[in-house]
């Protein structure tokens, strides 16, 4: 067992966990943040995507010990509260970007990350930015519409 | 009825959307019950044989585990679908790789992997049957010599089939003997006889959330016997699982309770399979005395659960020189895998869709579902239709090319129209205008101008571009007399505060069931959409509105909701002075007045066919479906002659699906289906070796990403239908049917080569292209015969 300290959704936390436990499981089991999903367990689908020190990362590929001192944002950390959604969440809701919803947390974090780096992404940049997140329901078109709407709502630095 | 604000035809927010985008929606793996244990499944590593021994390594303290074997099953050892051939757990015989043999549960999930690997199973192995052809050959050997049962892997007769064959159909366009005569005459005198063979591969549903359930048994403390079972999980059809549990536990229906929780995609993959995993988890709960969670990881889900049936379709047509179909013989074979599961009904839909949207003066369709030692194939969006429509739409292009006519001309010569009869003899009473759909789709996609431009650019470019299309239909609702048998029931309650609550077993797994049914209720009751509540799908509470499959929810269940809402209004108008028109306040007042004098306000409505629907299961003729969706899909492709990669560069999907209930959801359904269809055509290949799926991972089973897909242009012609609420028809499966043939037609347009198998991967194109270069008269079609009408001699076609 190893003790790690990390900041999740702005809350500092200390945990004693097996060093090789997947960060995905630490989030879901130890911190009860079940909005982060497991789709494949091998870093292909992006359902477990989180922001790890500001970068988009698949939490199924990160051992707990590597998360020591990390700053993490999960889907639960994005909205102010259930009435005040993050603009990206609002756009996914309005544009039909979520169907079954299982890829949605990862897809929303990927969009958030994309827009943080490319406030005005081209169509190609949107496609590339989301290519690590698989969606089986939408064919991605409603997701692209969600991202395009979010561009107009996200303050341009 | 007056409606101040239209709700049908607008796009209100998805009912459960907020929970999904917040990440608070509770899928099965997000849930935990007190004192819950975790389950695992020990599976066969061979495809066919008998279990010789099972040994448990001594280094594990097995008393800490619950262990279930076949002999522990209190009821019947079967997973019932249409018959009882499918064991819940293999007792002696093994019929496919990854067949469940025993089940384990333990309080600590991490203790299960070591335990699984500490169990050694030995087998007396038998040679497996892995292809339709091998299964057919074994059946033929058996038919010649009934003692030759060496390769009979499925007994047949006791389960409604024959040796190695789950089901056969023979469908004629008219009375059988007269049609045989007409076929013989047409093939004798036709200008051209054109033959083709078309094959499709297995396809994984690849819902992003794997199958999973939590089961909790109620045990009699004195005897330890199971008094009741509750299973909650990710699924489409809770009452299917109820039925399965009644047999496995020998319990009455009311003691088997199933609750559907938020479901992360299904596409048919959670239609029949939850009966397996649900029964397994319940057995572990019985044995352990604890709630048990059983959730597969991706590798297990892909290796062990159902896929789309592989198929082989042979089509022989007699046509005139100007492209009219005179007669057709279609022979279909699908690979059902090791047990019957849903193969007979998949085959039925495959059979009925195989004639496409065309007039056939004489047609015979023969079809069969063969057994192999592959994990059972099952439901997947389209349910047999994508396989046979792929074959037919490739064949229509073959006819065009053979006759030197355009693909457009061939279809226009043969389209069904309003008032015509389908191949099953069903009159098309509602308006059908395929001619217009084709005109519009070709215009929307700029087909003619682009095709001309590509013909020029292809002369010099290494990137060969082309366009192709498919024209097709999809029947909504259960086949034939199915809806009558389902006898679906919905309840609509008005609660004490005047809010309506829908009770249905129709499940939400992304398609929008909750949303569209609420829209229909709101529109009919003239109430705001947000007022409508929809009850959790809990079989202890909701009535059986049928399974959530077969593009039936919007049309069939939606219509029941509409009728239930009309009944509520009628009750309130007659008995509680609800005015016409009414406001929301009027409605609440009237409902509360009614509830002062009555214990409840509920409308219960059962299915009644909107028109006289007649289907003859023996003759296989009549009204096959209550309503059809009609479509024309156009694909534009680029084939790179350096990398052999095909890219779909644009896709146009035009369809007539009745009135659109929710434009955003409807577009999402079509786009998602088209994406799965593009995957089916160009990316997704199940690689089997000795019955093992070799690529049971997302790493090597490739589905399209956001970077792979073209812009998908979706358009609707809205022609209201009498069958669905507000004029809607079924939509869910339709978009799976068209993409694969449209894409392969486009590839033929680009390359001049007819590929007739999917998936079509770059390596397949490489092989064919290099072959094509080596043999200038080659191409794919040179082994397919056409018959010279002058000489009546079959000759290889060389004009590919």
pLDDT value of position B611: 66
Residue B21 to residue A101, Cβ atoms within 8 A = yes
Chain B residue with Cα closest to A90: B21
Q: B73: helix, coil or strand?
A: coil
Q: Sort out which chain B residues have CB atoms less than 8 A from A98's CB and list them.
A: 14, 17, 20-21
Percentage of chain B modeled with pLDDT above 70: 96
CA dist., res. B349 & res. B339, Å (int): 18
Do the beta carbons of residue B589 and residue B601 sit within 8 Å? no
Residue B27 to residue A85, Cβ atoms within 8 A = no
Examine the pLDDT at B785 and tell me if it is beyond 60.
Answer: no
How many C-beta neighbours within 10 Å does residue A113 have? 21
Distance (Å) from the alpha carbon of B550 to chain A's nearest alpha carbon = 17
Of B21, B210, B699, the CB nearest to A44: B699
Do the beta carbons of residue A100 and residue A90 sit within 8 Å? no
Nearest to A109 by CA among A147, A148, A153: A147
- The answer, for B665 touching chain A at a CB cutoff of 8 Å, is yes
B1 pLDDT tier (thresholds 50, 70, 90): very low
Examine the pLDDT at B125 and tell me if it is beyond 80.
Answer: yes
Residue A127 to residue B29, Cβ atoms within 8 A = no
Do the beta carbons of residue B670 and residue B644 sit within 8 Å? no
- The answer, for B13 touching chain A at a CB cutoff of 8 Å, is yes
Chain B residue with Cα closest to A85: B22
Contacts of B598 (CB under 8 A, 6+ apart): none
pLDDT value of position B535: 98
Once rounded to an integer, what is the mean pLDDT over residues B770-791? 47
Q: Sort out which chain B residues have CB atoms less than 8 A from A138's CB and list them.
A: 668, 671-672, 675
Q: Number of CB pairs < 8 Å for A and B? A: 169
What is B644-687 written as a DSSP string? --EEEEEEEEEEE-BS-S-HHHHHHHHHHHHHHHHHHHHT----
Residue B22 to residue A40, Cβ atoms within 8 A = no
- The answer, for B711 touching chain A at a CB cutoff of 8 Å, is yes
Query: How many degrees, rounded to 5, is the angle at CA B746 between CA B740 and CA B749?
Result: 145
Chain A residue with Cα closest to B300: A40
Where are any strands of DSSP class E within B107-159? 119-125
Chain B residue with Cα closest to A107: B21
Do the beta carbons of residue A47 and residue A37 sit within 8 Å? yes
For residue range B527-568, list pLDDT tens digits in order: 999 999 999 999 999 999 999 999 999 999 999 999 999 999
Query: How many degrees, rounded to 5, is the angle at CA A71 between CA A70 and CA A77?
Result: 145
Chain A residue with Cα closest to B210: A39
How many C-beta neighbours within 10 Å does residue B5 have? 10
Residue B667 to residue A35, Cβ atoms within 8 A = no
Percentage of chain B modeled with pLDDT above 90: 92
Give the pair of three-digit tokens for residue B33. Answer: 């019950």
B779 pLDDT tier (thresholds 50, 70, 90): very low
The kind and range of the H/E element at B764 are helix B762-774
Instruction: Classify strands B212-219 and B226-233 as parallel, antiparallel or unpaired.
Output: antiparallel
Residue B23 to residue A95, Cβ atoms within 8 A = no
Of B22, B509, B676, the CB nearest to A89: B22
Chain B residue with Cα closest to A21: B110
Give the pair of three-digit tokens for residue B434. Answer: 């395929």
Examine the pLDDT at B796 and tell me if it is beyond 80.
Answer: no
For residue range B445-503, list pLDDT tens digits in order: 999 999 999 999 999 999 999 999 999 999 999 988 899 999 999 999 999 999 999 99
Q: Sort out which chain A residues have CB atoms less than 8 A from B697's CB and list them.
A: 40, 42, 44
Q: Sort out which chain A residues have CB atoms less than 8 A from B706's CB and list them.
A: 126-127, 130-131, 133, 135, 140, 143-144
Q: Sort out which chain A residues have CB atoms less than 8 A from B30's CB and list them.
A: 28, 34
Chain A residue with Cα closest to B18: A93
Residue A130 to residue B671, Cβ atoms within 8 A = no
CA dist., res. B238 & res. B233, Å (int): 9
Examine the pLDDT at B178 and tell me if it is beyond 90.
Answer: yes
Q: Sort out which chain B residues have CB atoms less than 8 A from A111's CB and list them.
A: none
Once rounded to an integer, what is the mean pLDDT over residues B739-746? 98
Examine the pLDDT at B799 and tell me if it is beyond 90.
Answer: no
pLDDT value of position A157: 42
Q: Sort out which chain B residues have CB atoms less than 8 A from A82's CB and list them.
A: 18, 22, 24
Of A28, A45, A79, the CB nearest to B698: A45
Q: Is A61 exposed, middle or buried (0-12, 13-18, 19+ CB in 10 A)?
A: middle
| Domains parsed from chain B with CATH numbers | 17-25+488-606 (3.30.365.10), 33-127+206-304 (3.30.365.10), 376-479+621-783 (3.30.365.10)
Q: What mean pLDDT, rounded, does chain B reach?
A: 95
Length of chain A: 157
pLDDT value of position B613: 76
- Looking at per-residue pLDDT, the higher value among B150 and B612 belongs to B150
For residue range B574-623, list pLDDT tens digits in order: 999 999 999 999 999 999 999 999 999 999 999 987 667 789 988 999 99
For residue range B357-400, list pLDDT tens digits in order: 999 999 999 999 999 999 999 999 999 999 999 999 999 999 99
Give the distance, in angstroms, between the CA of residue B25 and the centroid of all CA atoms in the same chain.
26
Residue B706 to residue A137, Cβ atoms within 8 A = no
CA dist., res. B64 & res. B108, Å (int): 10
Site from B21, B206, B380, B679 to mutate, A interface, most A CB atoms within 10 angstroms: B21
- The answer, for B66 touching chain A at a CB cutoff of 8 Å, is no
Once rounded to an integer, what is the mean pLDDT over residues A137-147? 98
Q: Sort out which chain B residues have CB atoms less than 8 A from A94's CB and list them.
A: 13
B13 torsion bin: left (phi>0), alpha (psi -120 to 50), beta (else): beta
Length of chain B: 800
Please, what sign has the CA dihedral across residues A76, A82, A88, A93? Answer: positive
| Domains parsed from chain A with CATH numbers | 2-77 (3.10.20.30), 87-153 (1.10.150.120)
Instruction: Classify strands B93-94 and B627-640 as parallel, antiparallel or unpaired.
Output: unpaired
Residue A140 to residue B675, Cβ atoms within 8 A = yes
- The answer, for B731 touching chain A at a CB cutoff of 8 Å, is no
Do the beta carbons of residue B142 and residue B148 sit within 8 Å? yes
- The answer, for B680 touching chain A at a CB cutoff of 8 Å, is no
pLDDT value of position B160: 87
For residue range B618-641, list pLDDT tens digits in order: 899 999 999 999 999 999 999 999
Do the beta carbons of residue B554 and residue B724 sit within 8 Å? yes
Chain B (195-254) residues lying within 8 Å, Cβ to Cβ, of chain A: 205-210
ipTM value of the model?
Answer: 0.98
Distance (Å) from the alpha carbon of B297 to chain A's nearest alpha carbon = 7
pLDDT value of position A81: 82
What is the SS3 string spanning B411-456? HHHHECECCCECCCCCECCCCCEHHHHHHHHHHHCCHHHHHHHHHH
Examine the pLDDT at B5 and tell me if it is beyond 90.
Answer: no
Residue A100 to residue B265, Cβ atoms within 8 A = yes
CA dist., res. B719 & res. B275, Å (int): 38
Sole residue written with tokens 């006889």:
B193
Examine the pLDDT at B88 and tell me if it is beyond 60.
Answer: yes
Of B20, B27, B671, the CB nearest to A142: B671
How many C-beta neighbours within 10 Å does residue B45 have? 14
- Looking at per-residue pLDDT, the higher value among B779 and B167 belongs to B167
CA dist., res. B477 & res. B613, Å (int): 12
A46 pLDDT tier (thresholds 50, 70, 90): very high
Nearest to B378 by CA among B309, B478, B301, B332: B309
A154 pLDDT tier (thresholds 50, 70, 90): low
């Amino acid at each position: 067992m190893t003790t790690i300290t990390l900041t999740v959704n702005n809350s500092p936390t200390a945990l004693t966990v097996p060093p090789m436990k997947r960060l995905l499981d630490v989030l879901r089991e130890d911190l009860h943040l079940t909005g982060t999903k497991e789709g494949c367990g091998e870093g292909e689908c992006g359902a477990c995507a989180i922001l790890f020190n500001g970068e988009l990362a698949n939490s199924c590929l990160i051992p707990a010990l590597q998360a020591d001192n990390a700053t993490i944002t999960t889907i639960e950390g994005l909205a102010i509260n259930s009435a005040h959604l993050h603009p990206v969440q609002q756009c996914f809701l309005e544009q039909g970007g979520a169907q079954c919803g299982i890829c949605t947390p990862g897809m929303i974090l990927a969009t958030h990350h994309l827009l943080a780096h490319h406030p005005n992404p081209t169509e190609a940049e949107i496609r590339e930015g989301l290519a690590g997140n698989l969606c089986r329901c939408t064919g991605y078109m409603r997701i692209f519409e969600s991202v395009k709407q979010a561009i107009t709502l996200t303050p341009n630095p | 009825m007056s409606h101040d604000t239209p709700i049908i035809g607008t796009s209100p927010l998805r009912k459960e959307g907020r929970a999904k985008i917040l990440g608070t929606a509770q899928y099965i793996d997000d849930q935990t019950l007190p004192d819950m244990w975790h389950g695992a499944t020990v599976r066969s590593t061979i495809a066919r044989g008998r279990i010789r021994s099972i040994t448990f390594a001594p280094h594990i303290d097995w008393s800490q585990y619950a262990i279930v074997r076949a002999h522990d099953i209190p009821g019947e050892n079967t997973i019932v679908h249409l018959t009882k051939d499918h064991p819940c757990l293999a007792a002696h015989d093994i019929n496919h790789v990854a067949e469940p043999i025993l089940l384990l549960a333990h309080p600590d999930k991490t203790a299960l992997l070591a335990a699984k690997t500490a169990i050694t199973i030995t087998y007396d192995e038998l040679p497996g049957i892995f292809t339709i052809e091998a299964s057919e050959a074994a059946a033929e050997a058996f038919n010649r010599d009934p003692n030759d049962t060496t390769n009979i892997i499925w007994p047949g007769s006791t389960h409604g089939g024959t040796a190695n064959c789950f089901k056969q159909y023979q469908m004629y366009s008219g009375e059988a003997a007269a049609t045989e005569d007409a076929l013989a005459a047409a093939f004798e005198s036709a200008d051209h006889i054109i033959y083709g063979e078309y094959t499709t591969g297995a396809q994984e549903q690849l819902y992003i959330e794997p199958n999973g359930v939590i089961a909790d048994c109620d045990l009699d403390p004195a005897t330890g016997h199971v008094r009741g079972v509750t299973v909650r999980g990710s699924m489409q059809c809770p009452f299917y699982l109820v039925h399965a549990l009644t047999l496995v536990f020998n319990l009455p229906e009311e003691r088997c309770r199933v609750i559907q929780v938020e479901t992360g995609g299904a596409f048919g993959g959670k239609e029949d399979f939850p009966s397996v995993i649900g029964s397994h988890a319940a057995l572990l709960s019985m044995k352990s005395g604890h709630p048990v969670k059983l959730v597969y990881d991706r590798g297990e889900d892909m290796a062990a659960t159902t896929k789309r049936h592989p198929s082989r379709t042979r089509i022989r047509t007699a046509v005139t020189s100007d492209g009219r179909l005179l007669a057709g013989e279609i022979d279909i074979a699908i690979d059902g895998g090791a047990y019957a599961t849903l193969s007979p009904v998949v085959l039925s839909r495959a059979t009925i869709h195989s004639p496409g949207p065309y007039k056939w003066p004489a047609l015979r369709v023969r079809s069969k579902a063969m057994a192999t030692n592959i994990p059972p194939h099952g439901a997947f969006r389209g349910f047999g239709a994508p396989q046979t429509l792929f074959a037919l739409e490739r064949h229509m292009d073959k006819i065009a090319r053979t006759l030197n006519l355009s693909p457009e001309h061939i279809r226009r010569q043969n389209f069904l129209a309003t008032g015509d009869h389908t191949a099953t003899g069903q009159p098309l009473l509602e308006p059908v205008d395929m001619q217009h759909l084709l005109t519009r789709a070709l215009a929307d996609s700029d087909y003619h101008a682009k095709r001309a431009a590509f013909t020029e650019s292809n002369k010099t470019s290494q990137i060969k571009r082309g366009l192709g299309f498919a024209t097709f239909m999809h029947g909504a609702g259960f086949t034939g007399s199915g809806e009558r048998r389902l006898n679906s029931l919905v309840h609509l309650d008005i609660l004490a505060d005047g809010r309506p609550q829908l009770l249905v077993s129709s499940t939400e797994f992304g398609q929008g069931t909750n949303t569209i049914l609420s829209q229909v209720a709101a529109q009919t009751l003239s109430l705001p959409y947000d007022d409508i509540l929809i009850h959790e799908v809990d079989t202890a509470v909701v009535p059986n509105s049928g399974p959530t499959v077969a593009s039936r929810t919007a049309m069939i269940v939606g219509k029941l909701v509409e009728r239930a809402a009309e009944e509520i209004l009628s009750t309130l108008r007659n008995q509680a002075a609800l005015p016409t028109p009414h406001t929301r306040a009027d409605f609440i007042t009237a409902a509360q007045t009614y509830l002062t004098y009555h214990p409840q306000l509920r409308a219960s409505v059962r299915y009644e066919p909107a028109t006289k629907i007649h289907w003859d299961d023996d003759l296989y003729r009549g009204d096959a479906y209550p309503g059809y969706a009609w479509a024309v899909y156009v694909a534009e492709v680029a084939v790179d002659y350096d990398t052999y990669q095909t890219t779909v560069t644009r896709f146009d999907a035009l369809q007539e699906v009745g009135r659109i209930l929710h434009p955003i959801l409807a577009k999402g359904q079509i786009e998602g289906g088209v994406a799965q269809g593009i995957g089916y055509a160009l990316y997704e290949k199940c690689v089997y070796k000795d019955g093992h799926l070799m690529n049971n991972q997302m790493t090597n089973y490739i589905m399209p990403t956001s970077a792979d897909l073209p812009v998908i242009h979706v358009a609707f012609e809205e022609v209201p239908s009498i069958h669905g609420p507000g004029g809607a028809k079924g939509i869910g499966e339709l978009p799976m049917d068209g993409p694969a043939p449209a894409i392969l037609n486009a590839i033929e347009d680009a390359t001049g080569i007819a590929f007739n198998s999917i998936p079509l991967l770059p390596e397949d194109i490489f092989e064919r292209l290099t072959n094509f270069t080596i043999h200038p008269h080659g191409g794919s079609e040179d082994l397919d015969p056409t018959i010279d009408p002058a000489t009546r001699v079959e000759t290889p076609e060389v004009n590919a």
